[in-house]
């Protein structure tokens, strides 16, 4: 006898609806409890120190992990009561874990096109021309059109980051999750990425986006909301200007941080201790 599933009532504007979710391993809480709602037109940044639980939270949001406690509704589907393979194909994810599984000899355009079938390193017999057109478009959107015929193993860190984002966008996802897309980029690469993500943030057709980063300098203008995590818990969440403040960052990073906001960007540094350089 089949399982009778009662459809859950969800707000159609909510792409993520997490209530008291946590992820536990070996008796340890990696993240949570977190209550978090992301709407269709929102662009979120999740920021926090190493080990704060950012990636763990994204693993739940991308339906790669079931929460140990609480309820996770992703794109209207409740984790634990839905077919996750289909759900995962509706979420675009770019992360170091995805990058680590890509064979060095994989050709970029094949890598991007195969995202439509949620496989890595596996070649379907025939992709449509439309699939390759879409792959070319997503590469172009992120400034990687010239990389289409290169192999993964020959790409620089910045080029890889672009290809991963194009791959995540290939399926026209309803939710885009970018886990540290700026890690390892030089200043020019970071600024280029920030500019492209800013364009995407302002595009009303772009999916709801969550960007995980360690650095406020990587927050693209146009991002609307932010969540700060520390030691697995949420220390601040809400509209970006209310969250990315000296006070909140000082609390999350457990040291005195000063944040400046300039032209829609944020810049952070440690506060100078008064009197530190005075002669005795
Ligand atoms: N599979 C696992 N088993 C046990 N502990 C884990 C596992 N995955 C992550 N952790 C631990 O959970 C905590 C949160 O890890 P997570 O990767 O989510 O943090 P993060 O904020 O993304 O960190 P970083 O900024 O360093 O990438 C860390 O202390 C980490 O060591």
- For 137-187, write each residue's pLDDT tens digit: 999 988 889 999 999 999 998 899 999 999 999 988 999 999 999 888 889
**Long-range residue pairs from 113-118, CB within 8 A, at least 24 positions apart, any chain:** 113/170, 115/167, 115/168, 115/170, 115/171, 116/170, 116/171, 118/85, 118/88, 118/89
Q: Which residues contact 104 (CB under 8 A, 6 or more apart)?
A: 151, 152, 153
CA distance 26 to 210: 28
Q: Among 53, 100, 179, 232, say which to mutate for ligand 1: greatest number of ligand atoms within 8 Å of CB.
A: 53
Cα of 250 to ligand 1 centre, how many Å? 21
Q: What pLDDT, on the 0 to 100 scale, is given for residue 276?
A: 53
pLDDT bucket at 81, cuts 50 / 70 / 90: confident
Cα of 34 to ligand 1 centre, how many Å? 15
* Residue 29: CB atoms within 10 Å: 17
Q: Could you give the 3-state DSSP secondary structure of residue 217?
A: helix
Q: What pLDDT, on the 0 to 100 scale, is given for residue 198?
A: 95
Cα of 57 to ligand 1 centre, how many Å? 10
Task: Tell me the ipTM for this assembly.
Answer: 0.96
CA distance 267 to 256: 14
Q: For atom 28 of ligand 1, which residue has the closest CA?
A: 51
CA distance 197 to 209: 10
Q: Which of 61, 63, 62, 68 is nearest to 30 (CA)?
A: 68
Cα of 202 to ligand 1 centre, how many Å? 31
Question: What atom in ligand 1 is closest to the CA of residue 180?
Answer: 27
- Fold of domain 14-90+174-270: Rossmann fold (3.40.50)
Q: For atom 16 of ligand 1, which residue has the closest CA?
A: 53
Question: What atom in ligand 1 is closest to the CA of residue 49?
Answer: 25
CA distance 195 to 81: 39
pLDDT surpasses 90 at 69: yes
**Could you read off the pLDDT of 21-66 as tens digits, one per residue?**
999 999 999 998 999 999 999 999 999 999 999 999 999 999 999 9
Note the pTM of the prediction, 2 decimals.
0.90
**Could you read off the pLDDT of 187-243 as tens digits, one per residue?**
988 999 999 999 999 999 999 999 999 999 999 999 999 999 999 999 999 999 999
Ligand 1, CB cutoff 6 Å, lining residues: 25, 30-31, 48, 50-56, 214
The domains of the chain are located at 14-90+174-270, 103-172
**What is the greatest pairwise CA distance in the chain?**
82
CA distance 232 to 28: 10
Question: What atom in ligand 1 is closest to the CA of residue 26?
Answer: 4
Buried residues in 60-75 as b, exposed as e (16+ CB within 10 A): bbbbebebbebbbbbb
Q: Among 54, 211, 213, say which to mutate for ligand 1: greatest number of ligand atoms within 8 Å of CB.
A: 54
């Amino acid at each position: 006898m089949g399982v009778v599933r009662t459809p859950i009532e969800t707000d159609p504007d909510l792409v993520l609806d997490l209530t008291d979710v946590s992820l536990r391993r070996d008796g340890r809480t990696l993240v949570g409890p977190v209550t978090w709602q992301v709407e269709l037109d929102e662009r979120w940044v999740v920021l926090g120190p190493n080990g704060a639980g950012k990636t763990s939270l994204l693993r739940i949001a991308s339906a790669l992990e079931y929460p140990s406690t609480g309820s996770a509704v992703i794109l209207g589907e409740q984790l634990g009561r839905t077919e996750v393979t289909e759900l995962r194909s509706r979420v675009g994810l770019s992360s170091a874990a995805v990058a680590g599984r890509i064979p060095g000899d994989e050709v970029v355009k094949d890598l991007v096109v195969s995202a439509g079938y949620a496989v890595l390193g596996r070649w379907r017999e025939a992709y449509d021309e439309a699939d390759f057109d879409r792959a070319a478009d997503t590469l172009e959107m992120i400034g990687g059109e010239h990389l289409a015929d290169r192999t993964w193993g020959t790409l620089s860190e910045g080029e890889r980051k672009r290809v991963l984002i194009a791959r995540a966008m290939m399926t026209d996802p309803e939710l885009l999750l970018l886990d540290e897309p700026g890690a390892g980029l030089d200043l020019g690469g970071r600024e280029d990425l920030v500019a492209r993500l800013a364009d995407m943030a302002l595009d009303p057709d772009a999916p709801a986006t969550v960007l995980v980063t360690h650095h406020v300098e990587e927050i693209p203008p146009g991002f609307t909301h932010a969540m700060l995590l520390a030691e697995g818990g949420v220390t601040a969440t809400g509209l970006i200007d209310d969250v990315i403040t000296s006070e909140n960052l000082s609390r999350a990073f457990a040291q005195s941080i000063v944040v400046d906001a300039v032209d829609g960007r944020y810049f952070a540094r440690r506060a100078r201790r008064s009197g530190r350089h005075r002669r005795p």
